[in-house]
Amino acid sequence: MNHYLTVLKMYAVVNGRCRRKTFWLFLLFSTLISLACSAADELFGLKIHADQGLLSLIYSIAVLIPSVAVGVRRLHDLNRSGWWLLIMLIPLLGTLLLLIYFCLRGTVGPNRFGPDPLDNAALAP
């Protein structure tokens, strides 16, 4: 849960790097909250469209910017530009490639986007 809150605290920060653990835990908690919102929409009859409920829509809008920002920082950890997120626009192949990238270990040591988030000595004041 701490990793989820860390991402939300850095709401629109696209500078720096994000380690795999932080990225995947944010995605896990976000998915679980989204499922809970969908269940609440069904339970309370809050459907506003065929497949979309009110709570789900509000949550989706609320985490849109943090989701993009954490994706950009994850790509920075791989020493890739955040513009690589746009490869998702290529159906299936783009999403698959991003999934592979997000699973890879980040650059060891500092790269052009900042210090290694796994190197605690480099992050100490």
Q: Quick check: is 124 in a domain?
A: no
What's residue 83's pLDDT?
96
What's residue 7's pLDDT?
82
CB 22 within 8 A of CB 7: yes
Domain residue limits at 50? 2-117
Q: Quick check: is 59 in a domain?
A: yes
Give the amino acid at 54.
L
Q: Quick check: is 57 in a domain?
A: yes
* pLDDT level of residue 51 (50, 70, 90 thresholds): confident
Q: What is the pTM of this model?
A: 0.88
Q: Quick check: is 69 in a domain?
A: yes
Q: Quick check: is 122 in a domain?
A: no
* pLDDT level of residue 1 (50, 70, 90 thresholds): confident
Q: Quick check: is 123 in a domain?
A: no
Helix 20-44 with 93-103: angle, nearest 10 deg: 130
What's residue 85's pLDDT?
96
Q: Quick check: is 96 in a domain?
A: yes
Mean pLDDT value across the chain: 90
Q: What is the rounded distance in angstroms from the CA atom of residue 3 to the CA atom of residue 11?
A: 13
Name the nearest CA neighbour of 23 among 80, 94, 92, 105. 105
Report the domain count for the chain: 1
Q: What three-state secondary structure class fits 116?
A: coil
Q: Quick check: is 32 in a domain?
A: yes
